[in-house]
Amino acid sequence: MTHFLGFIVFLLSARLAFNVLGVGAEYYFDEVALIIVLGGTLTVTLISFPMSYLVTLVVSPFQMLFEKKNHFEDTVETLVRTSQAAQTSKSAIRELVDNQKTEPFLKEGLELFLLDIDRNDFKNIMTERIYRARQREEEQIALFRKLAKYPPAFGLVGTVLGLVSLMRTVGDGAAASEIAMRMALALVATLYGLAFANFILAPLAEHFTHKADDLKVFRELQVEGLLMIYDRKSPLVVQEMLNSFLDVKDRLDVVGLKEGFEQSA
């Protein structure tokens, strides 16, 4: 939701700036500048990165807009209830594996759990999967960070091309109004480069960095819960350990600890 809000604020700010300047958006449109900035950035992408990265560049903005939130509280509740059921039977774990709504990383861990592999091997496998997943996410982040430095450079190239055309026009004895218009269009390329880098590529890199950090903690929570289930820890211990991953106001009482305090009082 905040992504849409950010785009709306950007559009409203641009519209307000146009109104203050007393001009329309068409004053800032130039086909040559657009071709140089976008075409140059695309060229660098094709030369520097595999084709799969180009797909990432196109798809990622849509993933950002429609991605699902990591539900820490729901996962904590699921793991605590699973630890309760696993004290007597593995049927609850099998049900979670078969449930289509179970988070994919958690499902992987549960499937390994059902294979009865050694605890240390289980921990090493899940830890390695966290590391490799973060590595893949870092590659996506690096793509946007590296590309963000190119649009301003290509914007400068577009501006230089525009100035060369302007000088030729001056040499041919163009009118002052035409010279001023060509000068404005030449500077538009720099504007496009700065806007593309700072309003699209750099924010995407920051967004996916935050998302990767959040996912790493989310996966660590799941592995911690699975290890405690593996060790047959009491549901109370599982609950309180996993509550450490939540803000104080969001912590859960799945096992009814508060009710026990009230009854004892």
| pLDDT-based confidence at residue 261 (cuts at 50, 70, 90) | very low
CB-CB contact of 193 with 37 (8 Å) = yes
Measured in whole angstroms, how far is the alpha carbon of residue 171 from the centre of its chain? Answer: 50
How deeply is 172 buried, as exposed, middle or buried, from its count of CB atoms within 10 A (0-12, 13-18, 19+)? exposed
Per the structure block, which two tokens stand in for 253?
Answer: 């009482």
9-54 pLDDT per residue, tens: 877 888 888 788 777 777 788 888 888 899 998 888 888 888 877 7
pTM of the model: 0.80
How deeply is 132 buried, as exposed, middle or buried, from its count of CB atoms within 10 A (0-12, 13-18, 19+)? exposed
- What pLDDT is attached to residue 217? 93
| pLDDT-based confidence at residue 245 (cuts at 50, 70, 90) | very high
- What pLDDT is attached to residue 71? 84
In the block, tokens 């449930």 appear at 99
Query: What percent of the chain has pLDDT above 70?
Result: 88
Question: Which H or E run includes 33?
Answer: helix 31-48
